[in-house]
Structure 1
């Protein structure tokens, strides 16, 4: 805008909103320690990069509406630039800003987040005609659309600061996560700098600098891109997948940057199924954002977007065993323990633990989605809730019910991943590592583990519910199934339901699951 003569000065602003650091209605931290750490690192990196071109970043601890209202000059024309959001909590912040600055500034919202711009899609602006299934969506956008070119990064002098801006305010920057506790609402759990265990797949560091370094490493330094399709279902180590998801979720790396860099790599190195498949995953990520535009708060509702009323268990003990990695199913437990210890889990793991909670235990899937929102470093509202409502079979498309033991054998045959995160089973041979409950007493003694004591026996099938047995249609999809009310959740949508009885047992589908990464590049 300065270059076009539309503005004389620019004040970059980032607000740590107290609403992001409260407690969810389920009693979880809204933003866990790892994501808070990553976010702080990203903000500090942005401040450093802006300073390198003669600008700076004003950091505010408080609500965006309050910060902007206090910054507006008494006279003159002010324009507020922000990124367009599509989910209710984020859109509420936009409305608060508009109210606080009404008559004093104009607000212009710019589209971000996605590979494809919504104006270029072959769908209505409301996305009312968007397919609810991924493949038809992909086929249309790939055949009719092209990602836009990149917007050049600002150069030195392109973002001049107002000469009268308070220099002392510009100097302020929180240096550690604990500094953010001044805005944590009363009664909420305070933030603390997390301690990453040695077995974590990667030490994620927030910011554009680290994001571009990871992109360069994965494509040009290591050529890992060329084998992505073959390695993407791994669970151990930093190189089985791109690990771009935290930077994408926080806006440190754009999907279009990844896309154009891949196209460059294909022209200079190689083009194969693996190079395409990373772009394929970017399209999956787009799909859930546009799916949210279409369905709004229904992605947070108990009955999802499907319009079918199902029976979820209201069993806190089952949920806690899942959350804490104490189900007795080694693959589920290993993944949940990794998530809780590091704020990260592989795509393969996410699909399995979601299927197990919702489709085996029959627990309300929103409990799992809310827990992921709390602890994930790479949490993105559309990808997280969109994937969870899909995993629970609440979108009206195919239900992907995973056979956990088969998945464990398929993707961790020798049990290396399980042993990494479930040390109780470290001496169990590969033949039994996936089903340790089958060990005889002699085998247990030899392995140094007692099933039912040192490691829990699996939850008995008598405790399972089949939520999709005997479903009934609900007009409008998910009506009355939101989070407000006694059951808790994300605080979006209609009233919550009371305790539900376990549904009757029934036959379960055993399928391999969707091709798209749960976290879009974990």
Structure 2
């Protein structure tokens, strides 16, 4: 009798789940568990990264959808608010589990938990998959087994590779392995009020995916993506990608169909380009590990700023001397979302105009962004701060010029 354990994280879906497909073929019984890492210390500045109410609601919506989908496949979603390492250790100690299925996570703390478990339970098969990325992380190290120090090198190599199609559909999962353990219980579907913009879960994610590619918007994406406002100006996939309610491969498959039917151009390529950026930062996080959170970044030098509590508080509240920054921060606090250009500007302001250590900004984004992704968030902040992958050594934006270009009405 073989018993499998699917360890969910930022992959709250049943479609395009290679790890689930393998579990359906390889084990006789199965347990599906999610550990709520929002209660764990996942960064050095965790006191500033406490998830907002909006982030918690978005997560619960995602768990609701996953629970319903698993039920239709004959399974139950178990959830614990304890740290993942503790939960998985308990399950492996108390039950004769033979296989653990997990999508590779780019965070250092998540990787350490996994590595410690693999070392402690060497008799268990740990089956690892790349369900969070376009490409397997094994494809992202090259040139003497080194991770590329710039995105350009990465892109030139990776864009020539073929993206594998989404995983086969799963019609049934193995039966539930019965167990009763404290602090690990079936998820009880909650009633959540719908948000005006983003609602978590696989159903909402697939709806946005279908709706977006049913329009001509992909053909103008590159020209509109930096706009501060407007639902249609960018894909808006990022929150569901971060939650794992959709996968990069699902997006790429829809993009391929769109280009086949409507033609490819710079804008449709740019959607793929942004997915490559995401893969780059995932590989970056896996390669550099704890340096993702280091003040000096991956370069070991060049960090600016200190911590000024009052300045930082005003930045968080959108109460700085810069109207464009204030508008972006208010949008973030109210919706859990901010445009790509807005993120660059408020980060530049915090680091170069307010003189604050970039890590405090990264931690605040962690608390607020619905699309928070550990590698993309901390990697992008390092990029702006000049301690990461930017070959130009950081990006200091002229806020007055940017306001004239992107927010002439000072909204």
TM-score of the aligned structures, taking structure 1 as reference length? 0.68
Equivalent residue number for residue 37 of structure 1: 57
Equivalent residue number for residue 410 of structure 1: 405
Q: Is the 8 A contact 2:49 2:365 kept in 1?
A: no
What whole-Å deviation, never above 9, does each CA across 1:344-369 have from its counterpart, x for those lacking one? 11111101000111122221111111
Equivalent residue number for residue 142 of structure 1: 159
Q: Quote how far apart the aligned CAs of 1:107 are.
A: 2.5
Q: How does 1:83-482 map to 2 (within 5 A)?
A: 83-95=103-115, 97-98=117-118, 102=121, 105-121=124-140, 123=142, 129-143=146-160, 145-155=161-171, 157-162=172-177, 164-165=178-179, 172-173=187-188, 175=190, 203-220=197-214, 222-395=215-388, 397-398=391-392, 399-415=394-410, 418=411
SS class of match (2:105)? coil
Q: Is the 8 A contact 1:246 1:379 kept in 2?
A: yes
**Range with bigger deviation, 67-76 or 301-310:** 67-76
Q: Is the 8 A contact 1:18 1:62 kept in 2?
A: no
TM-score of the aligned structures, taking structure 2 as reference length? 0.85
Q: Quote how far apart the aligned CAs of 1:218 are.
A: 0.6
What whole-Å deviation, never above 9, does each CA across 1:101-141 have from its counterpart, x for those lacking one? 636733222223211112334616xx852222211211111
Q: Quote how far apart the aligned CAs of 1:314 are.
A: 3.2
SS class of match (2:233)? coil
Instruction: Give the gaps of 5 or more residues in structure 1.
Output: 178-192, 197-201, 419-522
Query: Alpha carbons of 1:414 and 1:259: their partners in 2 closer, same or farther (altered >3 Å)?
Result: same
Instruction: Give the gaps of 5 or more residues in structure 2.
Output: 1-21
Q: Distance in 2 between matches of 1:314 and 1:245?
A: 30
Equivalent residue number for residue 516 of structure 1: none
Q: Quote how far apart the aligned CAs of 1:82 are.
A: 1.4
Would you say how many aligned residue pairs link Structure 1 and Structure 2?
Answer: 387
Q: How does 1:5-24 map to 2 (within 5 A)?
A: 6-17=26-37, 19-20=39-40
Query: Alpha carbons of 1:105 and 1:352: their partners in 2 closer, same or farther (altered >3 Å)?
Result: same
Query: Alpha carbons of 1:165 and 1:308: their partners in 2 closer, same or farther (altered >3 Å)?
Result: closer
Query: Alpha carbons of 1:110 and 1:332: their partners in 2 closer, same or farther (altered >3 Å)?
Result: same
Q: Is the 8 A contact 2:306 2:356 kept in 1?
A: yes
What whole-Å deviation, never above 9, does each CA across 1:463-504 have from its counterpart, x for those lacking one? xxxxxxxxxxxxxxxxxxxxxxxxxxxxxxxxxxxxxxxxxx
Q: Is the 8 A contact 1:64 1:93 kept in 2?
A: yes
Q: Distance in 1 between matches of 2:159 and 2:114?
A: 32
Q: Quote how far apart the aligned CAs of 1:308 are.
A: 2.2
Q: Is the 8 A contact 2:106 2:374 kept in 1?
A: no
Query: Which protein has the bigger helix share?
Result: 2
SS class of match (1:384)? helix
Query: Alpha carbons of 1:291 and 1:318: their partners in 2 closer, same or farther (altered >3 Å)?
Result: same
What whole-Å deviation, never above 9, does each CA across 1:363-396 have from its counterpart, x for those lacking one? 1111111111111111000000000001011126
Q: Quote how far apart the aligned CAs of 1:43 are.
A: 1.0
SS class of match (1:27)? helix
Query: Alpha carbons of 1:332 and 1:407: their partners in 2 closer, same or farther (altered >3 Å)?
Result: same
Q: Is the 8 A contact 1:64 1:97 kept in 2?
A: no
